[in-house]
């Protein structure tokens, strides 16, 4: 058992050649030899800390294999946004290379518009990244609290995003998940880009990427968040810097209007609007704002300002930014932050009420990290739909249209496993606005089950047993499903929302 644990831990070890843990080791793994041969030393060291060394507070956000919580170092009082990652889930879902890449990239980025990584540590169950704590929360919160931002406010934030993106792109990196939830604010109100879990280094990247840490080998892998995904990604084109610039256009639109330009009732409908470039501008947008958004949302990624031959000079010279002093941007006074007494958000994810806090007994070597709804995290995150991350484009493929009646639209759709006593079967679970709840054999494209709909919870109920497991109960049978994207709470909210409409 001990040998298995050591082998398991070595698969996820993230450390530099001069860290205490690696120098004291009696044996060197192949990964450590690679580090030494490259003479690579991390700026943010791997420490010998324990999670017990920190006082954990409110939950900042949640992801598929991680949570971010406010962590105060007990001996120094230093405050961090602690990203806590579940090793078991990472290995099971083959995410090790992504985690290492994020750690290596954050270690080498040095810009006031990028969240800083201070140190890492780990135990037998979890990996920990101590990140800069952005006490101003998310840009998403400012948009939500203010309804929509003034053009001056949106201009300032957009300029700081442009400044940070120019640096990231100059390093040969594509972020691939730029969205208001990943744009954090300092206590003073300056923008910092966070969450590099989807980052893609280009071939000429200035970032040192080690052989055992790389992003997906497939150039056309689908990553990102539905409302901000560019059309070329939906069409399986290779990633480019233009991907992030499309997202910038969506964010500028959202800051000025209060909603994303392609918002719709389901991911499938959102993707259809993106592919059709179905964007409608409110009358109150200025000509300069409308023109910049229109250019950033060009269907050709090479024609978007910042991605062409003129580079970021063309973007910075746009009339919308005519009042921006690019040389002293970070010295300018940011917009006043709108505060919310009910909740505080930040650190790279959805926010939560003040009683949503952790103590060390919840995590680390005492108990495995549980990514569930016990603190209201998954419910609020999945309920809002803003952190949904897809791994394929199956969910909006036109082949599912054949199961819809005229005028019927998809509200929720996922490839799930239908769990039986001895076997499991992959099915496409589809919820429509009719309402209709069916599951389809994805290989034969035939309906395998039609779950009789009822607005009465006695006749149709939904039970969540974990973030990925749920049961749909009817008087005649109980059906168990597993959604590997961990959308159990989102399914529950969608179904119960229809029942209570």
CA–CA separation, 39 and 18 (whole Å): 10
CA angle (396, 351, 483) in 5-degree steps: 35
CA–CA separation, 46 and 17 (whole Å): 10
Pair of tokens at residue 478: 């109980």
Residue 236, strand partner residues: none
User: What DSSP character marks residue 68?
Assistant: E
- In this structure, what are the phi and psi dihedrals at residue 208, rounded to the nearest 5 degrees? -75, 115
Pair of tokens at residue 280: 């409608």
C-alpha torsion angle, residues 178, 179, 181, 183 (rounded to 10)? 60
Chain-centre distance of CA 97, in angstroms? 17
Contact 471, 477 (CB under 8 A): no
Length of the chain in terms of residues written: 501
- Sheet holding 478-482: strands in order across? 446-451, 436-441, 424-432, 410-419, 478-482, 469-473, 461-464
User: What DSSP character marks residue 333?
Assistant: P
CA–CA separation, 205 and 223 (whole Å): 20
DSSP helix/strand/coil, 124: coil
455 is catalytic: no
Cis ω on the peptide bond leading into residue 74 (within 30° of 0)?
no
- Among the listed residues 107, 177, 298, 483, the single catalytic one is 177
Contacts of 419 (CB under 8 A, 6+ apart): 469, 480, 481, 482
Active-site residues, by number, are 177
């Amino acid at each position: 058992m001990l040998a298995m644990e050591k082998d398991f831990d070595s698969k996820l070890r993230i450390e530099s050649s001069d860290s205490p843990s690696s120098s004291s080791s009696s044996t060197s793994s192949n990964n450590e030899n690679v580090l030494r041969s490259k003479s690579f030393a991390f700026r943010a060291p791997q420490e010998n800390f324990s999670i017990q060394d920190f006082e954990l507070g409110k939950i900042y956000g949640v992801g598929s294999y991680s949570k971010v919580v406010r962590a105060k170092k007990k001996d120094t009082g230093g405050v961090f946004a602690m990203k806590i990652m579940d090793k078991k889930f990472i290995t099971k879902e083959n995410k090790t290379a992504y985690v290492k890449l994020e750690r290596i990239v954050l270690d080498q980025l040095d810009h006031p518009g990028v969240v800083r990584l201070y140190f890492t540590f780990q135990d037998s169950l979890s990996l920990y990244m101590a990140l800069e704590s952005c006490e101003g929360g998310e840009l998403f919160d400012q948009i939500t609290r203010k309804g929509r931002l003034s053009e001056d406010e949106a201009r300032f934030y957009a300029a700081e995003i442009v400044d940070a993106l120019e640096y990231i792109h100059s390093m040969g990196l594509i972020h691939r998940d730029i969205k208001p939830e990943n744009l954090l604010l300092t206590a003073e109100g300056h923008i910092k880009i966070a969450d590099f879990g989807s980052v893609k280094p280009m071939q000429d990247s200035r970032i040192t990427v080690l052989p055992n840490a790389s992003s997906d080998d497939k150039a056309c892998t689908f990553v990102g968040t539905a409302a901000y995904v560019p059309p070329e990604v939906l069409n399986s084109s290779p990633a480019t810097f233009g991907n992030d610039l499309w997202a910038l256009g969506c964010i500028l639109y959202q800051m000025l209007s209060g909603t994303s330009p392609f918002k719709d009732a389901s991911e499938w409908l959102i993707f259809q609007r993106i592919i059709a470039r179905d964007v409608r501008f409110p009358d109150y947008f200025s000509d300069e704002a409308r023109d910049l958004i229109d250019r950033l949302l060009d269907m050709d990624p090479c024609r978007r300002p910042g991605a062409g031959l003129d580079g970021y000079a063309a973007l910075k010279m746009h009339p919308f930014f005519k009042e921006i002093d690019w040389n002293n941007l970070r010295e300018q006074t940011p917009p006043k932050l709108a505060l919310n007494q009910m909740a505080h958000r930040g650190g790279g994810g959805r926010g939560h009420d003040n009683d949503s806090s952790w103590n060390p007994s919840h995590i680390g070597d005492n108990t495995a990290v549980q990514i569930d709804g016990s603190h209201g995290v998954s419910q609020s995150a999945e309920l809002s739909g803003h952190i949904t991350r897809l791994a394929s484009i199956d969910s909006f493929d036109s082949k599912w249209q054949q199961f819809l009646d005229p005028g019927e639209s998809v509200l929720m759709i996922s490839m799930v496993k239908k769990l039986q006593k001895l076997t499991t079967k992959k099915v496409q679970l589809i919820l429509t606005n009719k309402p209709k709840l069916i599951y389809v054999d994805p290989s034969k494209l035939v309906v395998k089950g039609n779950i009789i709909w009822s607005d009465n919870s006695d006749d149709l109920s939904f039970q969540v047993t974990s973030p990925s497991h749920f049961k749909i109960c009817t008087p005649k049978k109980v059906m168990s499903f597993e959604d590997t994207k961990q959308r159990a709470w989102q399914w529950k909210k969608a179904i119960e929302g229809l029942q209570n409409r």
